[in-house]
Structure 1
């Protein structure tokens, strides 16, 4: 590849692929190394804290989806949308952090923690996590891929420094703090890039668009709706480790957490697909194709990686000299299947938000209830894994069918359907 071609690749969607790859390698590298540093019980608690932070980060993702969709839908109002998103983002970050501070005793009980300190660390990390969502959504909607790529790079690299802290004091609180270092640098970069409001639209609309409201309250309502939809998804994606902490022994739940590393890698490995496709998902005449292409890409990547896990799991466990990985190596490919299904579901949830659909989200909440009820009667990690794969497979199939049907309906009436009348 020539220098010019490489610059064009990195300046477009290729930069997002590289940026998210760096972020995911550093993030999961930290988590994998932490598995060897912490004892089984502490690692189970740390992983449960990470999963709860991911559930909390739905506010971040709701802000991101709202900012990106509104900028794509009304590029002529980008400067006003930017200003409103940033104000709402900063205020929401403080509210989320304050609420978690108050709820820290409840978090301590929910995750069966030995002290309240890890819950306090969680509350502190929620603030930069939420602010980052506002920054990323603006950059994504404006397709400023270079700046966005650097945000993702800085979301991963600082976690390497976090490992040094963890070596010094191997506890779940320090592990969470070390992992959370990846939320501060991206916020600083986002502030720097967006410190001056744009005075001109990012692009001319391809077709006349209904102007979007730039008042704070309508934007906040949409962000909250997006957040509850994403909360449903990430609750489904993360509820199993919480269930495991209650129905399995500390040792068994720790082993389940090790297997979930593969599921999380498979969930976030195709993250660039969701990021790059979202502007197309928010554009009526491109939406159906984006759903098909995105789903196909994720399933293809998932199939290749699942085969790779099946072939190298044993070798990797021996190379890492990890007794915990050796104990679960025979089932790691099933965790890869679970992660792939969850990744497709994530794309479909974002597709629903992009078209401002609502009813499909009810299926995700129903899947959460089924996961908790069925998971609560399991007695072994393999049984819990089977429940999660079954529930997620049914949910993914239903969302694919509903998404394609809704997109076909939208296209047949000209691509514009009021949200209140959508079939999904």
Structure 2
């Protein structure tokens, strides 16, 4: 098996060859991750914009709910990636055991989650009021490649192999909008949209498999390797639970909307959430860059404060932009069909801004293997669902979600600052 150091040296030497293209040299550097993630996010939400325009509010509300559930069901993807990246960097002497454990756990978890989702597909059909059960079945199948991508990306991130990781991110976004639009051109249904998502989800897995083709699972070499594997699995579980709580908080409101509002208003709410997701994921690269610094005692507080300032500034600008340029934003979320939500798009931008900062604080807790953030965020999920189901209007639901996110953010911020001040642990 080629070592991470050897790969770093090889990648570095390739980066300076005169035959390398300017794009390849960019993607081989860490700066390329920001570009690749931006492309991924643009592709992901371009798919949502295309779907919103081609399907209309009622059917798009169902697709948005399915995509939200896909995010929740595949949350192990995020836990695998966070754990793999942190452990490979922090414990270079145990890289072989860590990578073997991550890749084996990745495939097992993906098939297990896909199987569970398939069994629950009739429940999803009923919960989201879908026309048929087929979109729910396609959703279950899409969980498998989405989860696999997380483990592969985590290994590449830990090895600092930026080029294949960048290509995976690009492949996770661009094909989704291209294939999704293609499927919708054939037939404008919920099932067609999800079929495009399913096919596109396998493309980054193919790239990851090629990049990691030299990695072969092997049995534990000694008792130490076996213990490393067990600890990695425990960390994956803990990280996944924390990220599950955050993913639920940032996605399940559209499911609540689907059940408490009429289908048109639920579709308008889903259209507004396109703005939320754009604001949430626009500065996501900052979390990736700051995550290593948040893992060290000396840099953690400074990294979090820098992140708060940066994300706060981006969020404020997005809120102002959504208010001043609301008519332009309406065009991007689906056009005149979504005119009913135009004047409230700034509210959805505010939700996205709060969630972006919350994501930073959740990853700050993961960097220190903290235990409190996941319970605080989980309590927020319970509050959001419990109070949200009482809402009878679109604006009331959006304000409820905004208020819950603000309270969770305030509590987490206090806990993180106290931890980095040395007075308590998070």
Q: TM-score, normalized by length of structure 1? A: 0.89
Distance 1:213 1:280 in 2: 29
Query: What is the aligned counterpart of 1:362 among 364, 375, 378?
Result: 375
Residue 75 (1) aligns with residue 92 (2) = yes
Partner of 1:285: 298
Distance 2:175 2:184 in 1: 13
Q: CA deviation at 1:182?
A: 3.4
Partner of 1:374: 387
Residue 16 (1) aligns with residue 33 (2) = yes
Contact map agreement 1:73 1:212 (CA 8 A) in 2: no
Partner of 2:13: none
Alpha-carbon displacement from aligned partner over 1:134-161 (angstroms, at most 9, x marks no partner):
0111122223222211111111111212
Residue 301 (1) aligns with residue 303 (2) = no
| Matched position secondary structure for 2:421 | helix
Contact map agreement 1:88 1:216 (CA 8 A) in 2: no
| Matched position secondary structure for 2:257 | helix
| Matched position secondary structure for 1:38 | helix
Q: CA deviation at 1:8?
A: 6.7
Residue 169 (1) aligns with residue 187 (2) = yes
Contact map agreement 2:254 2:266 (CA 8 A) in 1: yes
Q: CA deviation at 1:179?
A: 2.7
Partner of 2:114: 97
| Matched position secondary structure for 1:113 | coil
Query: What is the aligned counterpart of 1:195 among 197, 213, 238?
Result: 213
Contact map agreement 1:56 1:126 (CA 8 A) in 2: yes
Partner of 2:425: 423
Structure-2 change in CA distance of 1:95 and 1:329 (3 Å): same
Contact map agreement 2:42 2:173 (CA 8 A) in 1: yes
| Matched position secondary structure for 1:339 | helix
Q: How does 1:268-283 map to 2 (within 5 A)?
A: 268-283=281-296
Partner of 2:60: 43
Alpha-carbon displacement from aligned partner over 1:272-300 (angstroms, at most 9, x marks no partner):
11222222222333222221122222112
Q: CA deviation at 1:197?
A: 3.6
Partner of 2:170: 153
Q: CA deviation at 1:96?
A: 0.7
Contact map agreement 1:20 1:149 (CA 8 A) in 2: yes
Alpha-carbon displacement from aligned partner over 1:391-424 (angstroms, at most 9, x marks no partner):
10111121122112212328xxxxxxxxxxx622
Structure-2 change in CA distance of 1:356 and 1:316 (3 Å): closer
Alpha-carbon displacement from aligned partner over 1:101-132 (angstroms, at most 9, x marks no partner):
11111111222222211111011101001110
Contact map agreement 2:52 2:333 (CA 8 A) in 1: no
Partner of 2:197: 179
Partner of 1:106: 123
Distance 1:392 1:213 in 2: 40
Q: CA deviation at 1:333?
A: 1.3
Q: TM-score, normalized by length of structure 2? A: 0.88
Partner of 1:259: 272
Deviates further, 64-73 or 256-265? 64-73
Structure-2 change in CA distance of 1:8 and 1:294 (3 Å): farther
Distance 2:226 2:304 in 1: 27
Query: What is the aligned counterpart of 1:342 among 351, 355, 365?
Result: 355
Q: CA deviation at 1:323?
A: 2.2
Q: CA deviation at 1:306?
A: 2.2
Structure-2 change in CA distance of 1:218 and 1:248 (3 Å): same
Distance 2:408 2:225 in 1: 32
Partner of 1:143: 160
Consecutive unaligned residues in structure 2, runs of 5 or more: 1-17, 217-223
Contact map agreement 1:20 1:152 (CA 8 A) in 2: yes
Partner of 2:133: 116
Distance 1:72 1:369 in 2: 35
Residue 134 (1) aligns with residue 145 (2) = no
Contact map agreement 2:294 2:303 (CA 8 A) in 1: yes
Partner of 1:202: none
Contact map agreement 1:371 1:391 (CA 8 A) in 2: yes
Number of matched pairs: 399
